[in-house]
Amino acid sequence: MVGNPMFWLVPAASVVALTFAWFFFSQMMKADEGTDKMKKIATYVREGASAYLRQQYKVVIIVFVVITIIFSILAYGLGIQNPWVPFAFITGGAFSGLAGFFGMKAATFASSRVANACRHSLNAGLRLAFRSGAVMGLVVVGLVLLDISIWFVVLNYFIPEMDGGYQLMTITAIMLTFGMGASTQALFARVGGGIYTKAADVGADLVGKVEANIPEDDPRNPATIADNVGDNVGDVAGMGADLFESFAASILASALLGAAAFIKSPLQTNAVIAPMIIAAAGTILSILGIFLVRTKEGATQKQLLKSLGFGVNISALLIVIASFFILKYLGLPLGIWGSIIVGLVAGIGIGQSTEYFTASAYKPTRKIAESSATGAATVIISGLGIGLVSAAAPLAIIVVAIALAFGFATNFDFSMSELNFGLYGIGIAAVGMLSTLGITLATDAYGPIADNAGGNAQMSGLEPEVRKRTDALDALGNTTAATGKGFAIGSAALTALALLASYFEEIRMMFVKILDQPEKLINGVKAIDAEFIDFVKHYEIHLMNPLVIVGVFIGVMAVFLFSGMTMNAVGRAAQKMVDEVRRQFRTIPGIMEGTGEPDYARCVEISTKGAQREMLAPSLIALFIPIVVGVIFGVPGIAGLLLGTISSGFALAIFMANAGGAWDNAKKYVEEGHVGGAGSDAHKATIIGDTVGDPLKDTAGPSLNILIKLMVMASVVTVGVAVSYHIF
């Protein structure tokens, strides 16, 4: 029924991942939660985070209802969309929402427990934090594989057999819509979470640290709970939704590209399930890797890091070996194996370039730190300069990766006849890069958990030794996070390109089918006329076409507009927080002496409402630009739009992430006693740099990751509109 029994590995891996996620979760829940004060603070944060998620999901549900209605009109009213699309869209959103919910639950339950574990030893803290992060990693990959499995089985049952391999084309095209649901959910998670966390952070810092001169995470600061909630909703839930979407989209796009490339071949089914099976194998190997992260009691920080790296690297190495045998068993060309390796190596390479440009061990960040001797202006100038330059390395890596992933899959034949195989290679490279997401996401989610544990320790007034240990864990997390970020952004670019290729494939396939049976309804598209056939024949998505050029400019415009709007949103939301914190300092008696209790809930509410209000406008832009461009400028406009968005969005995202990371670490470097040391004018200059970097690296930058995927997704899903109703 599903073509190849090996497919059942996919649901099996899903069940295993979810089982282990449950296992790690209940293990973590058994750990001691610490003192009453610790419990109380953890409860505040947990309740704030839950309240935020509830509020966010309410807004998202409304958006989903609206979009589902639109999709239903397109499908049932106008007949220019497949009738399954609305359902696939909804499940994608629902599963992504579930993954964020579970991940955040785990993280918020873990923080006080990790803080308590750190009272005993660094090692106990590491293990608990890492295993709690693993819950997130495994829930994400498990739910993606589950949803894919269910839909693949269901659609194989319902979609009738067709001539010439069109059954699998249709199935994979519908399944891709699942990714659209995940993208939409992820956009709101990233944008809303990003605005929330930075409004709270900037607000807490500006009034607490700068004006009132109290330390970070001080319980007297009314915004401190909101700040800790922000880490969870931004870094944990946002990051999870982001990678859920990348993981799903890379697999689904590759499946469609595989169906297209092998359309007349008996290997078609195998090409479709290959990305699913590689992802399933990677998931199993990630769990193995997670178990390999063990350290002896009393291990040094270097050993801890090595231990983490060991788990990740073993998983990566094993998936390289495993995928060779998977491809061999499936009878697929072994050149594709090269594409998988290219994807993995590119992810590592981007991670290393991120580390080079943002870690204080290297020249760029040190230069920023040194420029603090001449004040904040030079800190900002050098950070902007280095951030801009730093975008070049990942761009170069992606360029090489595209060329090689395509080349390996086609024996380096770049002619049109090999195009489909090459595009499949690009998709598979994205799958390869993300195959071990189970463990890489665990090392990523562990960072904010450690950070929150530190917050809990500080607010609960635990002995300074504990805070030191959580800081050490946090620092460790920063190093692994560099690699994690590399995978997130690298996979976003490759996935977006695979999706772009899917877009072209959908159109190309329509064309092929139209020529076969010009009168038939295909994928619901009715309004096919001679002009359209002529268009596809001549590939009028060429660069001399002014509609393509116009599209590219609009794509770049969308990126700048979107990130500017998210930046401004943070500014406005932070301003409200500043006003509230100042008000509380002014009006609550005894607040500075620690005798009056600050109104934490009010700050949580302000961040929540601010994030909800502010996330709508930029998100709607992302959703509707592709439709508007499609209606006005047709397919050539969309083609240009997507390429413009992907390329400039990728570059701007890296610029923002790296500039922000470098400013953060330059500040820490000065705090370690360099240039002027903590408290000096140089230090104050780097604090300004760090504050500027916050919305760049945690709001606008990560949101661009989603934007570039969502805009392609939205175009793919509404391809019928652009084809049938374009003005030009």
Considering only residues 173 to 232 of the shown chain, the ones binding a copy of itself according to CB under 8 A are 202, 206, 210
The interface region with a copy of itself, picked from 103-111, 187-195, 247-255, 557-565 by CB under 8 A, is 557-565
The interface region with a copy of itself, picked from 16-24, 93-101, 393-401, 463-471 by CB under 8 A, is 393-401
Considering only residues 23 to 42 of the shown chain, the ones binding a copy of itself according to CB under 8 A are none
φ, ψ dihedrals at 162, nearest 5°: -130, 165
- 145-156 exposure pattern, b = at least 16 Cβ within 10 A, e = fewer: bbbbbebbbbbb
Helices (H), 224-300: 224-230, 239-261, 268-292
Residue 54 vs 363, nearer CB to a copy of itself: 363
Residue 153 vs 561, nearer CB to a copy of itself: 561
The interface region with a copy of itself, picked from 4-12, 72-80, 249-257, 532-540 by CB under 8 A, is 532-540
Residues in the chain, total: 728
Closest among 122, 295, 275, 207 to 579, alpha carbons compared: 207
CB of 575 to a copy of itself, least distance (A): 7
Considering only residues 630 to 669 of the shown chain, the ones binding a copy of itself according to CB under 8 A are 639-640, 643-644, 647-648, 650-651, 655
Contact between 624 and a copy of itself per CB under 8 A: no
CB of 513 to a copy of itself, least distance (A): 18
CB of 341 to a copy of itself, least distance (A): 18
* Identified binder of a copy of itself from the candidate list 79, 83, 309, 375, rule CB under 8 A: 375
Considering only residues 326 to 365 of the shown chain, the ones binding a copy of itself according to CB under 8 A are none
CB of 540 to a copy of itself, least distance (A): 7
* Identified binder of a copy of itself from the candidate list 252, 574, 631, 722, rule CB under 8 A: 574
Contact between 530 and a copy of itself per CB under 8 A: no
Coil, helix or strand at residue 525: strand
Contact between 711 and a copy of itself per CB under 8 A: no
Q: Residue 359: which H helix or E strand, with range? A: none
* Identified binder of a copy of itself from the candidate list 229, 259, 316, 376, rule CB under 8 A: 376
Considering only residues 500 to 529 of the shown chain, the ones binding a copy of itself according to CB under 8 A are 500-501, 504
Both tokens of residue 350?
Answer: 């981007």
CB 261 within 8 A of CB 424: yes
Both tokens of residue 107?
Answer: 């993280």
The interface region with a copy of itself, picked from 34-42, 56-64, 368-376, 430-438 by CB under 8 A, is 368-376
Coil, helix or strand at residue 78: coil
Neighbours of 55 (CB within 10 A): 16
The site for a copy of itself, by CB under 8 A, has a size of 87
CB 581 within 8 A of CB 28: no
**Mind spelling out the 3-state secondary structure of 407-470?**
HHHHCCCCCHHHHHHHHHHHHHHHHHHHCCHHHHHHHHHHHHHHHHHHHHHHHCCCCHHHHHHH
Residue 283 vs 724, nearer CB to a copy of itself: 724
CB 440 within 8 A of CB 266: no
Considering only residues 412 to 451 of the shown chain, the ones binding a copy of itself according to CB under 8 A are 412, 414, 416, 419, 422-423, 426
Contact between 560 and a copy of itself per CB under 8 A: yes
The interface region with a copy of itself, picked from 27-35, 255-263, 297-305, 546-554 by CB under 8 A, is 546-554
Considering only residues 44 to 103 of the shown chain, the ones binding a copy of itself according to CB under 8 A are none
Residue 327 vs 639, nearer CB to a copy of itself: 639
How big is the chain by its Cα radius of gyration, in Å? 25
CB of 424 to a copy of itself, least distance (A): 12
CB of 658 to a copy of itself, least distance (A): 10
| CA 78 to centroid of chain Cα atoms | 34
Residues 482 and 276: their CA atoms lie apart, in Å, by 27
Residue 252 vs 687, nearer CB to a copy of itself: 687
The interface region with a copy of itself, picked from 129-137, 147-155, 341-349, 688-696 by CB under 8 A, is 688-696
Considering only residues 257 to 286 of the shown chain, the ones binding a copy of itself according to CB under 8 A are none
Angle (deg, nearest 10), helices 437-459 and 268-292: 40
Whether the CA torsion 677, 679, 680, 683 is positive or negative: it is: positive
CB 700 within 8 A of CB 655: no
Residues 71 and 90: their CA atoms lie apart, in Å, by 11
Residue 554 vs 603, nearer CB to a copy of itself: 554
Contact between 294 and a copy of itself per CB under 8 A: no
Whether the CA torsion 568, 573, 576, 582 is positive or negative: it is: negative
